[in-house]
């Protein structure tokens, strides 16, 4: 709880994974990948409840062993490749509400971002409340500036992403940020519904890019092994 506001952390972890089989349970120096996110959520000063939403009993067991709660298993239609995260979160909120468990804010913590720390979670919560932000999303500065990114049209000609001249000094580049997927916070009210696009949350929570690592393939696993 922070300033009379309660916070539900949801960690989505479905059993299926194309790039890395059983990715959420992949052993990283003696710990399953998902436990890195659970551990930091447990260290948060403000998170009131940590729920892992999964369709997999093995993940559920590991999550509970590591200190998270798994009060329900996610139905199959919410664990498909094309399932929307917002639907997973709404399902969690509605399931808990059946037991009269209600929260003011939901904090989405994806287990594929294992470098995010507990103080990031707490600072994001403080920001949302202090600045009266109904939603926010964590972002990091992009490595490759959009001014230097090109597409190729049907004639084979390079096309600029931004409509401005790129012949400027790097020191003059306007900073651009990417949604890094580590933290999403949304107020649970009438504005939190199935049409919400979480990646389009309005306010940025800035994170140093050294904490941005999205685990998608084995190269990412190799990188992670050098950092933890």
* Distance from C-alpha of 24 to C-alpha of 29, rounded to nearest angstrom: 14
The answer, yes or no, to whether residue 172 has pLDDT greater than 90, is no
Q: Is residue 161 part of a domain?
A: no
On whether residue 61 sits in a domain, the answer given is: yes
As a whole number, mean pLDDT of residues 154-169 equals 89
Q: How many CB atoms lie within 10 A of CB 35?
A: 22
189 occurs within a structural domain: yes
The predicted model gives 76-89 an average pLDDT of: 94
- Tell me, what's the pLDDT at 168? 80
Residues with Cβ < 8 Å from 69, sequence gap 6 or more?
49, 50, 51, 52, 63
Quote the pTM value.
0.94
Residue 79 has pLDDT above 80, yes or no: yes
DSSP, res 148:
G
- Whether residue 90 is contained in a domain is answered as yes
Mean pLDDT to the nearest integer, 169-196: 93
**Number of compact structural domains in the chain:** 1
On whether the CB atoms of residues 70 and 60 are closer than 8 A, the answer is yes
pLDDT for position 45: 98
**Residue 166 domain-assigned (yes or no):** no
pLDDT mean over 62-91: 96
Q: Residue 10: is its pLDDT beyond 80?
A: yes
Task: Say if residues 129 and 104 touch (Cβ distance below 8 Å).
Answer: no
Average the pLDDT over 113-122 and give the result: 98
Q: In this model, does residue 96 exceed pLDDT 80? A: yes
Residue 111 has what pLDDT?
97
Which residues lie below 8 Å from residue 27, measured CB to CB, with a gap of 6+? none
> What pLDDT does 215 receive?
96
Q: Which residues contact 14 (CB under 8 A, 6 or more apart)?
A: 24, 54, 55, 56, 74, 79, 83
Are 135 and 202 in contact by the 8 Å Cβ rule? The answer is yes
The CATH number linked to 60 is 3.90.550.10
Q: What is the pLDDT of residue 167?
A: 82
pLDDT at 225: 96
């Amino acid at each position: 709880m922070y300033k009379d506001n309660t916070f539900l952390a949801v960690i989505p972890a479905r059993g299926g994974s194309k790039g890395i089989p059983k990715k959420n349970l992949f052993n990283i120096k003696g710990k399953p990948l998902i436990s890195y996110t659970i551990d930091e959520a447990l260290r948060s000063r403000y998170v009131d409840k940590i729920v892992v939403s999964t369709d997999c009993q093995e993940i559920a067991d590991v999550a509970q062993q590591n200190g998270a709660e798994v009060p329900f298993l996610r139905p199959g239609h919410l664990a498909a490749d094309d399932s929307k995260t917002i639907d997973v979160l709404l399902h969690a909120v509605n399931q808990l509400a059946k037991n009269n468990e209600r929260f003011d804010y939901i904090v989405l913590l994806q287990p594929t971002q294992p470098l995010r720390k507990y103080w990031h979670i707490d600072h994001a919560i403080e920001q949302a409340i202090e600045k009266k932000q109904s939603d926010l999303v964590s972002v990091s500065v992009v490595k490759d500036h959009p001014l230097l990114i090109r597409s190729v049209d049907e004639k084979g000609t390079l096309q600029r992403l931004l409509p401005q001249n790129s012949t400027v000094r790097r020191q003059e580049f306007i900073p651009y940020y990417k949604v890094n997927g580590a933290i999403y916070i949304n107020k649970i009210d009438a504005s939190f519904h199935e049409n919400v696009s979480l990646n389009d949350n309005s306010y940025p929570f800035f994170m140093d890019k050294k904490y941005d690592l999205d685990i998608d393939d084995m190269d990412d696993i190799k990188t992670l092994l050098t950092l933890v």
